[in-house]
Structure 1
Amino acid sequence: MAKILYTYTDEAPMLATHSFLPIISAYASTAGVDVETRDISLAARILAQFTDLLPAEQQVEDTLAELGALAKTPEANIIKLPNVSASIPQLKAAVKELQAQGYALPDYPDEVRSDEDKDIRARYDKVKGSAVNPVLREGNSDRRAPASVKAYARKNPHSMGAWTADSKTNVATMEDGDFRHNEKSVIIAADDELRIQHVAEDGTTTVLRESVPVLAGEVIDGTVMHVAQLQEFLKAQIERAKADDVLFSVHLKATMMKVSDPIIFGHVVKAFFADVFEQYGDQLAAAGLSANDGLGGILAGLDKLENGAEIKAAFDKGIAEGPRLAMVDSDKGITNLHVPSDVIVDASMPAMIRTSGHMWGPDGNEADTLAVLPDSSYAGIYQAVIEDCRANGAYDPTTMGSVPNVGLMAQAAEEYGSHDKTFELASAGKVQVVNKAGEVLIEHDVETGDIWRACQTKDVPIRDWVKLAVTRARASQTPAVFWLDETRAHDANLIALVNEYLAEHDIDGLDIRILSPIEATRFSVERIRKGQDTISVTGNVLRDYNTDLFPILELGTSAKMLSVVPLINGGGLFETGAGGSAPKHVQQLVKENYLRWDSLGEFLALAVSFEHFAQTNDNARAQILADTLDRATGTFLLENKSPARKVGSIDNRGSHFYLALFWAEELAKQTEDAELAAAFAELAGALRSNEEKINAELIGVQGSPADVGGYYKVDQAKADKVMRPSDTLNALIDALSV
């Protein structure tokens, strides 16, 4: 039976599911559409890796693998909510919580000393970082702001900080020795099997990756970040931030780039506290306190050391004598260097640009900032936007244009598929990519500690990406720009392929061009200021960056974007926006039973999911559900029923009630299906007549602590009780039938 699969994930989106899913299921049932959940939360993914160690009643299915297989079929119809892309501190926290709940999981091994440690580490590594998206994304991304969302943003603009010409905010990035400058790229002529190996200076060969199967036409890249040059760069930026009297901050993606970026983050921590690590580094390492886990993890472990207070004082001295650190939470003393997953570049940089180029300083005030993005691959786009704001002021949400995105992400394309091919080198020598015939395709000289990685981009996704770009350009009659740099090895190969594949399409009358990322940024922001739209056609990392950068400036959040992934084999994946603010929302719910999470992304994804279901299953009622939900979402925005900011107002649960009300009223008004209209007329009337009572029940529970039984793995009954506190609403929804 055809069905819609709704993913159960983490944090605020997961809690919202407890409130919204009963409404979805009830409405969908009237069209004969079965909606099932699949738990791909961090907790579930951890447990799925250890079924052999758990009793039968605690074992869970590997639902991520199930969805991954489904995504390759025409039947796929998956609604994917934001999930935790776990850094090591988050992973350890989840394991600790599960252990406390009675799951006999092994600890995450910081050091691998045995085959057992190696096995346990390998299992945990499967759920670390961005483990979900590469599995599900068997198609390329089409992400844009729906007309209703854009209209609302223009009528209800979010706040934008003013920019001045004398702002000292800038981006600092490496000019040599980084991934971008060391990249080499080849296109594979025929199906093959590659091997990645390290050849030491004494000739000893160590196989890093035994088998990398590749297909004809696949683009293979290899590159290295030289840590000696990274360390020189970091030292210079720390001195620069202090000399310029600006905040020092580092912006990485330790969640998605789960192997390379925590290592780079560790180098930043060690560079900032160079004196501390020179004196105590060996002792900290012996105690298992790694800079890669951040300053917070080190400070938390100092109590176990005999001279912990002495080391803590040394860190305090380092903070006092260094440049002012950007803060995650100045009230709690949580710095930019505390946790690698706290400051994620694609969310943190747009937020900084939106706030006058400021971050928060240790004094609790905003200040100009030196944003350190070590790898120069994409850092220039942010500098280009900063320079535009410095010259022309902040953008105006009431008039600015959009930058929708067509992103090459299918089949773990580009850097985001590099995790299992990223290595921190144990000794100097060469790293080689060798084909089955023994030919060296890519080779780099490396030193001890250098970070080397390889990436794959298959030909079928590239062809599909070009086709999708042409389709979107024609449908919207909007310029489409491929953000590709001819001076970068990977991009040079893609430019040749893009030009070849564009020739296979009718592009007469379309404005399709290829520009470097920096030039594409300048072109796009110039058009933004004129109120004009420009499609950005990008690779996987720039897709991630752009679909936060421009929506956050334009809409105030990226969670309001429509994200459709037409799967290559005919199915559909419908993503619901970003979850970067989810942790704070959970903290507020637990503290005062108020959930600020905005489910607009879920509303948008659900509508296109119903539409896809209708088209692939010839289900007229599903199309009616899609059309009426789209109109209801427009009303929802115009009536401003998104969660408010303060306790005592409607929160996420109240927004679900109003969406249900407006949707029922739209269904009652539609004329295509009289039986459906009659059933929903009754529900709409009951919801409207009980509006005051339902709101009182929803708001009445606010203000006191809420217990959902866990953070990474909640108690289902407790979460249902907290997220469905209106008996009146529950009874009306549960009684719906046609």
Structure 2
Amino acid sequence: MTESNAPASIIYTLTDEAPLLATYSFLPIISAYAGTAGVAVETRDISVAARILAQFGLADDALGELGALAKTPEANIIKLPNISASIPQLKAAIKELQEQGFAIPDYPENPQTDADRETRAKYDKVKGSAVNPVLREGNSDRRAPASVKNYAKTHPHSMGAWTSDSKTNVATMGQHDFKSNEKSVVLAADDTLSIVLEAEDGTTTVLKDGLNVLAGEVVDATVMQVSHLRAFLVNAIAKAKADDVLFSAHLKATMMKVSDPIIFGHVVKAFFADVFATYGDDLAAAGLSANDGLGAILAGLDALPNGAEIKAAFDRGIADGPRLAMVDSDKGITNLHVPSDVIIDASMPAMIRTSGHMWGPDGNEADTLAVIPDSSYAGVYQTVLDDCRKHGAFDPATMGSVPNVGLMAQAAEEYGSHDKTFELAAAGTVRVLNSAGEALIEHDVEAGDIWRACQTKDAPIRDWVKLAVTRARASATPAIFWLDESRAHDANLIAKVNAYLPEHDTSGLDIKILTPELATAFSLERIRRGEDTISVTGNVLRDYNTDLFPILELGTSAKMLSVVPLMNGGGLFETGAGGSAPKHVQQLVKENYLRWDSLGEFFALAASLEHLATSTGNARAQILADTLDRATGTFLNEDRSPGRKLGTIDNRGSHFYLGLYWAQELAAQTEDAALAEAFAGLATTLASNEEAIVGELLAVQGSPADIGGYFRPDDAKASVVMRPSTTLNEALASL
């Protein structure tokens, strides 16, 4: 590798909650070390607060800028977990920003004027999975680094015991849902489509027009029939009551920002059917929507003249129904309180880890009926539950791994459906029309049905197949495409996979196509033998699998290496899941203790530096990457991740130790003498002052911390909180 004079920079994203707070501590270390290689570390704020302000011209559109950058060969972006805002989260962020002095309007729940509709459209651009589709101009390569896997085997996390008589199961529709009603077409040529609803009275409403599609693109449409959803929910509630198990709903009200809050609302209304039958009009008139969850309704009852009466009715509903799974039994927060509290890809693996249990209202664990209305991927979880019932809990000390190659580029599949998802106002027929007015897909619908379409472009599919073959050969591991030929979309993808696989050398590789249920069973059988299997999946299953298997194998999905080779040559490096981030912020504010684990950031940074070294010929960047890898190995071996309680090192202490080990590795390397000399003094300073630095970090614990805001912290206050060691700060400044 030769040195290059080409300018090089890494974009480090500022996001939300615990990852953002950790950035205040870790970014100064990154900038100081990267600067020795001539690498600039720039930041872009893509937090939910910044995205709200950008919609009203009060902040730069950093997300739009990064979206354009992601399409260039120069892109080198480290992306931390961000809030995929549900409506309650969005409203809370708006309120905080207003209190901070920003002149932004309230969220219009029921827009009546053009101004309200314009405001609602702006906020809709911030809701749910607004960030990832913009940045993900490539497919996903996500796996557990060897150092993490080895650590998990030598320090296995706890796994709850399973019994063969466990009553935990999944309840799903199987008919009249998104999976069963799906229709799919492959476009023969570039075109512009429209989506129209022809009501039974003959009136026609254009739901979406100007929908540009490319030759070879897969376009799907489907509908959730709400009358059948309601009947299913009534039966599921009765089953949970009869079986004496906890009732819990598992959705994705953040990423599936249009459909799943509506489905969540139906769950709430079904559970409290008597309440809504009696008081539904009162609640609607007060703007209290079941879609926002039970918590939002209860919080608004004080403003109603009959609020106490309605509150008593909800209490009776809880007492008379099946026991509800709890988010926080001590505080009385149920599974139905907040749509974004129970997210399927995090909640289901956690339940499987805990003997198939969730927490009940009595504060004890219990078997659970996990309600997953749409059957598209519910069978994956049922297969895992059945396997554990038969074979017992998994053993992290011996189990294999399931890395993932995920199809997600250019808003592929369901997560790209937000702008084409509608709660229908009238019965009739929804049609997807081409530019000639011909119907490509049509569904008969009833008022209240949830209809959606999604797109998957051909180039990402071709790239996905290539990445699967590349990973299978690089790791000498079987690769399984999780596709079901009985599902319309999957049938079209299977045809494309079979067409594109011959473009690559697959000799000696074990590549199969199996339904998600059979792929799960195949992978679990190999896991129990200590063998690895690559899951090659679509976008939603990518999200589910990269939580499910890491949580079982590693105890967390935050320790994964997530690389997105961008299709135009750049790199996007993601740092793990952020599902636990809200609880960490609450603890920091209360106790000045941040338990967030930045290991994912360490892995992403090393991969980013390596990509930069390769793309620009920066030899020092490669040394930084190699030494960071070794330092991370030492970090794991020395068990320097944040502890579980006050008095142990937290996120800030883990950053100090990573910085110490990294400086020591840089001082010891022999490829670049000048670089070694530059870090020799720092390594000595940090090592000799270890006790003083740790003491300064521990000294602040136990008292409340003021960060100036949840969604938009005050930079100065947050920096003081997250950098309390003067000794460490001065040592970094000296570099």
**Considering the TM-score relative to the shorter chain, is it more than 0.5?**
yes
Counterpart residue number, 1:55: none
SS in 2 for 1:182: coil
Instruction: Figure out how many residues of one structure are paired with residues of the other and give that number.
Output: 729
Mapped partners of 1:202, 1:299: distance in 2: 39
Counterpart residue number, 1:288: 287
**CA displacement at 1:19 relative to structure 2:** 0.3
Mapped partners of 1:134, 1:475: distance in 2: 27
Mapped partners of 1:42, 1:674: distance in 2: 44
Mapped partners of 1:678, 1:25: distance in 2: 18
**CA displacement at 1:719 relative to structure 2:** 0.5
Counterpart residue number, 1:14: 20
Written as runs of structure 1 = structure 2, the 5 A alignment for 1:155-304 is 155-304=154-303
**CA displacement at 1:193 relative to structure 2:** 0.3
**CA displacement at 1:282 relative to structure 2:** 1.1
Which residue identity lines up with residue 676 of structure 2 in the other structure? A
Written as runs of structure 1 = structure 2, the 5 A alignment for 1:335-484 is 335-484=334-483
Counterpart residue number, 1:662: 661
**2:406, 2:537 within 8 Å by CA — same for their partners in 1?**
yes
Counterpart residue number, 1:485: 484
Which residue identity lines up with residue 28 of structure 1 in the other structure? A
Mapped partners of 1:730, 1:424: distance in 2: 53
Counterpart residue number, 2:121: 122
Q: CA offsets per residue over residues 631-680 of structure 1, 9 Å max, x none?
A: 00000000000000111110000000000000000001110000000111
**CA displacement at 1:734 relative to structure 2:** 1.2
SS in 2 for 1:568: coil
Mapped partners of 2:587, 2:178: distance in 1: 40
| Residues 1:578 and 2:577 are matched in the alignment | yes
Which residue identity lines up with residue 401 of structure 2 in the other structure? S
**CA displacement at 1:466 relative to structure 2:** 0.1
**CA displacement at 1:278 relative to structure 2:** 0.5
**2:526, 2:533 within 8 Å by CA — same for their partners in 1?**
yes
Mapped partners of 2:734, 2:474: distance in 1: 42
| Residues 1:594 and 2:593 are matched in the alignment | yes
Counterpart residue number, 1:50: 56
Counterpart residue number, 2:530: 531
Mapped partners of 1:503, 1:437: distance in 2: 35
Which among 24, 29, 34 is matched to residue 30 of structure 2? 24
Counterpart residue number, 2:603: 604
Counterpart residue number, 2:518: 519
Mapped partners of 2:724, 2:129: distance in 1: 34
Which among 35, 38, 41 is matched to residue 35 of structure 1? 41
Counterpart residue number, 1:5: 11
Mapped partners of 1:340, 1:17: distance in 2: 28
Counterpart residue number, 1:559: 558
Q: CA offsets per residue over residues 460-484 of structure 1, 9 Å max, x none?
A: 0000000000000000000000000
SS in 1 for 2:490: helix
Mapped partners of 1:225, 1:712: distance in 2: 34
Counterpart residue number, 1:54: none
Mapped partners of 2:219, 2:169: distance in 1: 33
Counterpart residue number, 2:4: none
SS in 1 for 2:179: helix
Mapped partners of 1:189, 1:646: distance in 2: 59
Counterpart residue number, 1:56: none
Mapped partners of 1:468, 1:24: distance in 2: 30
| Residues 1:87 and 2:65 are matched in the alignment | no
**2:246, 2:325 within 8 Å by CA — same for their partners in 1?**
yes
SS in 1 for 2:373: coil
| Residues 1:692 and 2:712 are matched in the alignment | no
Mapped partners of 1:79, 1:498: distance in 2: 30
Which residue identity lines up with residue 541 of structure 1 in the other structure? V
Counterpart residue number, 1:678: 677
**CA displacement at 1:394 relative to structure 2:** 0.2
**CA displacement at 1:503 relative to structure 2:** 1.0
Mapped partners of 1:257, 1:553: distance in 2: 24
Q: CA offsets per residue over residues 409-462 of structure 1, 9 Å max, x none?
A: 000000000000000000100000000011100000000000000000000000
**CA displacement at 1:400 relative to structure 2:** 0.1
Counterpart residue number, 1:142: 141
Mapped partners of 1:605, 1:537: distance in 2: 21
SS in 2 for 1:288: coil
Counterpart residue number, 1:541: 540
Q: CA offsets per residue over residues 233-259 of structure 1, 9 Å max, x none?
A: 000000000000000000000000000
Mapped partners of 1:155, 1:412: distance in 2: 39
Which residue identity lines up with residue 113 of structure 2 in the other structure? S
Q: Gapped runs of 5+ residues in structure 2?
A: 1-6
Which residue identity lines up with residue 146 of structure 1 in the other structure? P
SS in 1 for 2:212: strand
Which residue identity lines up with residue 109 of structure 1 in the other structure? P
**CA displacement at 1:2 relative to structure 2:** 2.3
**2:172, 2:373 within 8 Å by CA — same for their partners in 1?**
yes
Q: CA offsets per residue over residues 120-166 of structure 1, 9 Å max, x none?
A: 00000000111100000000000000000000000001100000000
SS in 2 for 1:653: helix
| Residues 1:617 and 2:616 are matched in the alignment | yes
**CA displacement at 1:211 relative to structure 2:** 1.5
**CA displacement at 1:60 relative to structure 2:** 1.2
Counterpart residue number, 2:717: 718
**CA displacement at 1:62 relative to structure 2:** 0.3
Q: CA offsets per residue over residues 468-503 of structure 1, 9 Å max, x none?
A: 000000000000000000000000000000000001
SS in 2 for 1:455: strand
Mapped partners of 2:95, 2:714: distance in 1: 16
Q: CA offsets per residue over residues 325-350 of structure 1, 9 Å max, x none?
A: 00000000000000000000000000
Mapped partners of 1:188, 1:536: distance in 2: 27
Mapped partners of 1:2, 1:506: distance in 2: 34
Which residue identity lines up with residue 8 of structure 1 in the other structure? L
Q: CA offsets per residue over residues 91-116 of structure 1, 9 Å max, x none?
A: 00000001011111100011011001
Mapped partners of 2:54, 2:361: distance in 1: 42
Runs of 4+ that moved beyond 2 A: none
**2:8, 2:38 within 8 Å by CA — same for their partners in 1?**
no
SS in 2 for 1:542: helix
**CA displacement at 1:203 relative to structure 2:** 1.6
Which residue identity lines up with residue 309 of structure 2 in the other structure? E
**2:173, 2:373 within 8 Å by CA — same for their partners in 1?**
yes
Q: CA offsets per residue over residues 155-183 of structure 1, 9 Å max, x none?
A: 00110000000000000000210000000
Mapped partners of 2:256, 2:505: distance in 1: 37
Q: CA offsets per residue over residues 682-720 of structure 1, 9 Å max, x none?
A: 110110000000000011111111001010001100011
SS in 2 for 1:78: strand
Q: CA offsets per residue over residues 352-409 of structure 1, 9 Å max, x none?
A: 0000000000000000000000000000000000000000000000000000000000
**2:293, 2:336 within 8 Å by CA — same for their partners in 1?**
yes
**CA displacement at 1:283 relative to structure 2:** 1.1
SS in 2 for 1:503: helix
Q: CA RMSD in A?
A: 0.4
Mapped partners of 2:119, 2:638: distance in 1: 51
